[in-house]
Amino acid sequence: MNGVLVIDKPPGITSHDVVNQVRRILGQKAVGHMGTLDPMASGVLPLVAGSLTRLAQFYVKAEKTYEGEMGFGFATDTYDAEGEPATAPVPVSLDRGRVEAVAADFRGLIEQTPPPFSAKKIHGVPAYKLARGQKEVKLDPVSVEIKELEILEVQADRARFRARVSSGTYLRSIAHDMGRRLGCGAHLSSLRRTAVGEFTQADALTLDRLAEQAQAGELAGCFIHPRKLLPQFPAVTADDAAAAMIRSGRSVNLPEFSSARMVKVFLGQGELIAMATRVAGTLFHARIVLQG
C-alpha cells in the first residue's frame, strides 16, 4: 500500500502512537508521519505509507494552521495545560484590545525559544528527557515566521486564536511569551491543527473510521489522490518508454517543462513514480523513484 492519508489525531496520544495504530490497520511497517503533534493536541496528521514515505522530505518545511486557546493567570513548566504550574495563579480579567496589541508583536519573522519540554535536541538528547530528569535545559532561539495570529475571542482569563505558522513554530512558546508580556503568566490550554501544507481537516479520517474501511476492504478510498500531492510542482505523465528510463536511473527529455526546477512524474493518472529535477535545459533526472 503506497500513498498518503490524513488522520484526525485525537488528544491524549502521541503522533508515534497514531503511526503504530495505522501500521496495524494497514498491515505494513512502512508508515511515517509528516509533522509531530503534541500529545495534548488534536487534528491534521498526514501519514505516508509504503514507497511514498520518501515524499516526507518535501514536507519538512510545510506551513501549518492551528486553532486553540490560551489560558492566562499562570504559566506551566511544559507551557501547556498538562504541566505543573510554574508561577503562582493570579486573578485575571483580560482586555481584548491589550491581548490583540500583544499578539500583533508576534506576527512576522521572530526569534522563538522552544519549550524545555520539547523534542529539540541538546547534544543529541531530546530536551524533554533532560527536563524530566531535572537537568538544565538551555535551548537557543530559532527564527520562525508567524504568518497569521488572530485573536478570535477573549473571555475573562482565556483567549481563543487562529494561527498560520512556518514549520518549527511552537504555539506553546507563543502562549508562554504572551503571558510574560502581559505580566500574568499563560499556557496553551488547547490546540487543534487544521491544516498542514495542502492537507486540511476535510481530508482527515479518525482512526476508528480507517479501521472500519480496512475491515470493509475499502482502504483505497482513504488515501489522498496522488495528483493532489505537492501542488507547487508541475506534473508530467510519462509514456511507458520514458517511465522505464526514469525507473532505471536514466535522464529523460521533457521539453514542455524547460523552466521547472522539479516535476512530479506519473504513469497514467494515478501512479506517481518519481520526483525529477532539471539537470540542464529540458533534461530531467529522477531525484527519487517512488514506484519500481
Marked catalytic residue, from 8, 17, 38, 208: 38
Task: Please report the pLDDT score of residue 119 as a whole number.
Answer: 57
Phi, psi of 96, deg, nearest 5:
-60, -40
Do the bridges between strand 64-72 and strand 186-196 make them parallel or antiparallel, or are there none, so unpaired?
Answer: antiparallel
Query: Does residue 38 carry a catalytic annotation?
Result: yes
Query: Does pTM top 0.85 for this prediction?
Result: yes
Q: What is the pLDDT along the chain (292 residues), one digit of tens a residue?
A: 899 999 999 999 999 999 999 999 999 999 999 988 988 999 999 999 999 999 999 999 999 999 999 999 999 988 999 888 999 999 999 999 999 999 999 999 999 988 876 555 544 554 445 445 554 556 778 899 999 999 999 998 999 999 999 998 999 999 999 999 999 999 999 999 999 999 999 999 999 999 999 999 999 999 999 999 999 999 999 889 999 999 998 999 887 776 789 999 999 888 999 999 998 888 899 999 997 5
Measure the CA–CA gap between 63 and 106, rounded to whole angstroms: 17
Residue 244 · residue 237 · CB < 8 Å? no
Task: Please report the pLDDT score of residue 118 as a whole number.
Answer: 56
- CA-closest candidate to residue 70, choices 145, 167, 174: 174
Which residues are CB-contacts of 256 (< 8 A; sequence separation ≥ 6)? Answer: 236
Task: Please report the pLDDT score of residue 140 as a whole number.
Answer: 76
Q: Which three cell numbers stand for residue 204?
A: 482527515
Where exactly are the structural domains of the chain? Answer: 3-62+198-224, 68-147+161-188, 228-289
Q: Which CATH architecture has domain 3-62+198-224?
A: 2-Layer Sandwich (3.30)
Task: Please report the pLDDT score of residue 127 as a whole number.
Answer: 47
User: 124's torsion region: left (phi>0), alpha (psi -120 to 50) or beta?
Assistant: left
Residue 202 · residue 44 · CB < 8 Å? no
Two domains, one topology: 3-62+198-224 and 68-147+161-188: yes
Task: Please report the pLDDT score of residue 120 as a whole number.
Answer: 54
What does the DSSP assignment read for the chain?
--EEEEEEEPTTS-HHHHHHHHHHHHT-S-EEESS---TT-EEEEEEEEGGGGGGGGGGTT--EEEEEEEEES--BTTSBTTS-BSS--------HHHHHHHHHTTSEEEEEPPPSSSS-EETTEEHHHHHHTT-------EEEEEEEEEEEEEETTEEEEEEEE-TT--HHHHHHHHHHHHTS-EEEEEEEEEEETTEEGGGEE-HHHHHHHHHTT-GGGGSPPGGGS-TTS-EEEE-HHHHHHHHTT--EE-GGGTT-SEEEEEETTTEEEEEEEEEETTEEEEEEE---
> Among 3.40.50.1110, 3.30.2350.10, 3.40.50.360, 3.30.930.10, what is the CATH number of 68-147+161-188?
3.30.2350.10
CATH superfamily of this structure's domain 228-289: PUA domain (2.30.130.10)
Handedness of CA 210, 62, 12, 8 (dihedral sign): negative
- 149 bridge partner residues: 163
